[in-house]
């Protein structure tokens, strides 16, 4: 009997150690991007060895590429964060020679989602410019042409938001609007709390309410069990990033937002739940806030997939 108990105990210990090793690798791979990493293969394209490696050690994610298909004349800028990282950005500003009818209404600062870049926001940027806004499109740290290879899922990215906000404010802009999707939206919320930013308006699309919820969403998409992986990924991700993953809660930070807010979410979203979105909305302190839900969208560009509704909603909010 004692031998059986020992064997069971030893087996449990081995499984516990293996789960922690797997979690540590997965947490690291999910929060780091590599310029020389090959494109990620679909499971059906992988051999047995590749699949085993992906399951046990995670997959190296390639750093997002920037494809400049933005047809509006724009400048490429470099912004510097308070922790000395250089961020690449595009600035679309009033160009009298090509847009004599342009009426300047303000500047919209745009922040993309996890694994994307400023290239992924071109459709929205075009729309904002046509509405009369100058636009600043920013590559987060570890994304696009910006410095770094570590993404903290919105924690340190709040510094990137601050750097962009300060740049636009120092240009003399009086009407600053912050727009962000997913990672970008959650980073905006944290930056408003951390630095007491005072934008005139805020547009948030599909922010996650907490890092724990972001981990859950990813695990569900990957078809992996939520527990104990959620806890272990949170623990190891926090250790590797130098933060307490379980205290990173944009849903709570939202209490510091007092500017008018438009919060948007797609009902088919597999990553961010409706309850999570409703909770964020309830916590926003602003007396002028609006929650709009899109029937046919998931965790994707709302502007692209329900363009007519998005243009009408965003246009009305900005006017």
Q: Give the model's confidence band at 99: pLDDT under 50 very low, under 70 low, under 90 confident, else very high.
A: low
Instruction: Please tell me which residue, 220 or 202, carries the higher pLDDT value.
Output: 202
Question: Over the chain, what is the mean pLDDT?
Answer: 91
Instruction: Please tell me which residue, 225 or 257, carries the higher pLDDT value.
Output: 257
**Can you give the length of the chain in residues?**
319
Same domain, 32 and 16: yes
The answer to whether 263 and 280 are in contact (CB under 8 A) is: yes
Same domain, 197 and 146: yes
Same domain, 135 and 265: yes
Same domain, 119 and 16: no
Same domain, 270 and 139: yes
Same domain, 130 and 238: no
**Preceding amide of 95 cis, omega within 30:** no
- The last residue of a domain, from among 227, 246, 265: 246
Same domain, 10 and 151: no
Domain of residue 77, residue span? 64-209+248-318
Phi, psi of 8 (to 5 degrees): -65, -45
Closest CA to 90 of 61, 49, 124: 124
Domains in the chain, number: 2
- The last residue of a domain, from among 220, 246, 272: 246
Same domain, 102 and 36: no
CA–CA distance, 193 with 178 (Å, rounded to integer): 14
Same domain, 202 and 220: no
Same domain, 148 and 286: yes
Output the domain CATH number for residue 154.
Answer: 3.40.50.1820
Same domain, 98 and 200: yes
Per-residue pLDDT reduced to its tens digit, 213-254: 888 887 776 666 777 878 888 898 899 999 998 999 999 999
Same domain, 28 and 143: no
CA dist 36 → 18, 54, 59 (Å): 28, 17, 13
Average pLDDT on 168-188 reads 97
Q: Which of 1-15, 153-167, 198-212 has the weakest average pLDDT?
A: 1-15
SS3 at position 182: coil
């Amino acid at each position: 009997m004692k031998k059986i108990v020992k064997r069971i105990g030893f087996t449990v210990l081995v499984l516990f150690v293996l789960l922690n090793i797997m979690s540590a690798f997965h947490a690291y791979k999910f929060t780091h991007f590599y310029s020389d990493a090959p494109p990620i293969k679909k499971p059906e394209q992988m051999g047995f060895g590749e699949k085993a490696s992906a399951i046990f050690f995670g997959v190296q994610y390639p750093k997002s590429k920037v494809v400049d298909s933005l047809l509006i004349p724009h400048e490429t800028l470099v912004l510097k964060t308070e922790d000395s990282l250089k961020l690449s950005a595009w600035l679309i500003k009033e160009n009298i020679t090509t847009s004599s009818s342009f009426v300047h209404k303000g500047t919209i600062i745009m922040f993309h989602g996890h694994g994307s870049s400023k290239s992924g926001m071109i459709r929205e940027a075009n729309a904002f410019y046509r509405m009369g806004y100058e636009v600043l499109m920013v590559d987060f740290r570890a994304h696009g042409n910006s410095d770094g290879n570590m993404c903290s899922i919105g924690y340190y990215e709040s510094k990137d938001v601050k750097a962009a906000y300060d740049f636009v404010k120092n240009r003399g802009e009086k009407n600053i609007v912050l727009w962000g999707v997913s990672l970008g939206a959650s980073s905006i919320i944290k930056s408003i709390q951390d630095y007491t930013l005072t934008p005139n308006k805020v547009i948030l699309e599909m922010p996650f309410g907490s890092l724990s919820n972001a981990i859950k969403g990813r695990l569900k998409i990957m078809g992996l069990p939520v527990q104990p992986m959620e806890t272990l990924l949170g623990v190891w991700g926090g250790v590797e990033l130098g933060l307490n993953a379980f205290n990173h809660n944009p849903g709570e930070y939202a209490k510091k937002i007092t500017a008018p807010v438009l919060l948007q979410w797609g009902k088919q979203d597999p990553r961010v739940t409706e309850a999570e979105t409703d909770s964020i909305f309830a916590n926003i302190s602003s007396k002028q806030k609006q929650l709009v839900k899109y029937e046919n969208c998931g965790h994707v560009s709302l502007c692209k997939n329900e363009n007519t509704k998005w243009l009408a909603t965003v246009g009305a909010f900005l006017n």
